[in-house]
Amino acid sequence: MKLIIQIPCFNEAESLPVTLAELPREVAGCSVVEWLVIDDGSSDQTAEVARSLGVDHVVRLPVNRGLAMAFMTGLETALAAGADIIVNTDADNQYDARDIPTLVQPILRGEAELVVGERPISDTEHFSWLKKRLQRLGSWAVRLASGTQVADAPSGFRAMSRGVAERLNVFNSYTYTLETIIQAGRSNIRVASVPIRTNADMRPSRLVKGIANYVKRSMTTIVRIFATYKPLMFFWLISSIFMLIGFGAGLRYLVLRLLGQGEGHIQSVILAAACVTIGLLIFVLGFLADLLSVNRRLLERIEWRLRRLEYSRLPKSGRDSES
C-alpha cells in the first residue's frame, strides 16, 4: 500500500522546511510513504528547497495557476507514481501532521474513500467571528448539495483512495475544497469526517485576502456550487421568487378591482405579467440546466474510465518534472 503526501506550494521556501520536518515517513498500514511537492510557479527557491530536503517527487509549474490547479496536478502526479492513497496538506504547516494516520485509517479499514479533517474552528483564535460563521455556512451548503455529513468542508487536510483521485474534477480556479466533496457525494463515494488538530499560524493566509474578499469568494463559490450541482433547485428557487411577486401583484390588482378601486393600478398588472413571465422562463431554464448536468455526469464517467486506462499503462516513476 503506497501513500503519497502531496503539498501544493507557492513561494513556500521558508515554511516548507518546517512542514516537511513534521511529515511522517512511516504510517501504519502503508508499506511506502512518499512526499510530493507541487511548486505552483513560485518566484523563490521552493522547488530547490524541496529537492534538498529529500522530497521524492517535485513538480514545477512554469506559472502560477492557482491552488485548484496545483491540487489537481498533484493528484495526476501521485496517480502516475502509483499512489494507492493520497493525503493533501498545506505548506504553511496549518495542519498537524501527527493526524495523517487518523485520516488514512478509515480508508485502510474500508470505511471511507474520502476522509476530510475537521478543524476545531470554534477554538481557532485567528479566525474572526464572521469567518467562523462563513465556514459553517459553506459547510452547510456543501452538506446540502452533496448529501454528505462533512463538518468542515473548506478543510484542505484530507485523504483519498486511488479510485477517488481518478474521479475528481475541479472547475473552480479559486479552490478545490468544496467542489470535490460535492462531486464525491453525488458520485456515491463514501465520505467521512474526522477531528484533527491544527498548528499556530506561520503567516497570513494567501488564499484569503481580507474579510471582504473572503465573503465575496465564499458567497460566489456557494452560488456556483448550487448552480452547477443542484441546477433544478437553484433555478426553481429563483423562479419561485418571481412567481410569488407576480402572483402577489396580480392578487392585489384583483382585490382593488373588486373593491372598485382598480383604476390607476395598471402598474400592478404590468408587474404581475412581467414577473410571471420571467419566473416561467427561469423555470424552463432549470429543466435545461438539469439536462446539461446529466450530460456532464456522463462525461465525468467517461473521463474516469479513460484516466484508469491511462494510469494503468504508465510506469511508476519518481522523477521530477515540469508541467
Q: Which residues contact 219 (CB under 8 A, 6 or more apart)?
A: none
DSSP conformational letter for 198: B
Residues in a beta bridge with 195: 118
Residue 197: name the closest of 123, 88, 138 by CA. Answer: 123
| Cα–Cα distance list, 193 to 86, 150, 173, 265 (Å) | 16, 5, 24, 57
Residue 237: name the closest of 273, 286, 303, 180 by CA. Answer: 286
Alpha-carbon distance of 210 to 213, in angstroms, equals 5
pLDDT for position 318 = 44
User: Residue 321: in which H helix or E strand, if any?
Assistant: strand 321-322
The string of DSSP letters for 92-154 reads T--B-GGGHHHHHHHHHTTS-SEEEEE--GGG-TTS-HHHHHHHHHHHHHHHHHH----S-TT
Alpha-carbon distance of 97 to 106, in angstroms, equals 17
pLDDT, one tens digit per residue, over 56-76 is: 999 999 998 888 889 999 999
Alpha-carbon distance of 37 to 60, in angstroms, equals 8
pLDDT for position 210 = 62
**Strand ordering across the sheet containing 32-40:** 191-195, 114-118, 158-161, 85-88, 2-9, 32-40, 57-61, 321-322
User: Residue 3: in which H helix or E strand, if any?
Assistant: strand 2-9
Residue 116's φ and ψ, nearest 5 degrees, are -115, 130
pLDDT, one tens digit per residue, over 249-266 is: 888 888 887 877 767 678
pLDDT for position 30 = 93
Which residue numbers in the chain have pLDDT < 70? 123-128, 172-174, 202-211, 214-215, 218, 262, 264, 313-323
State how beta strands 85-88 and 158-161 pair.
antiparallel
State how beta strands 2-9 and 32-40 pair.
parallel
Residue 72: name the closest of 323, 297, 298 by CA. Answer: 323
Residue 95's φ and ψ, nearest 5 degrees, are -95, 145
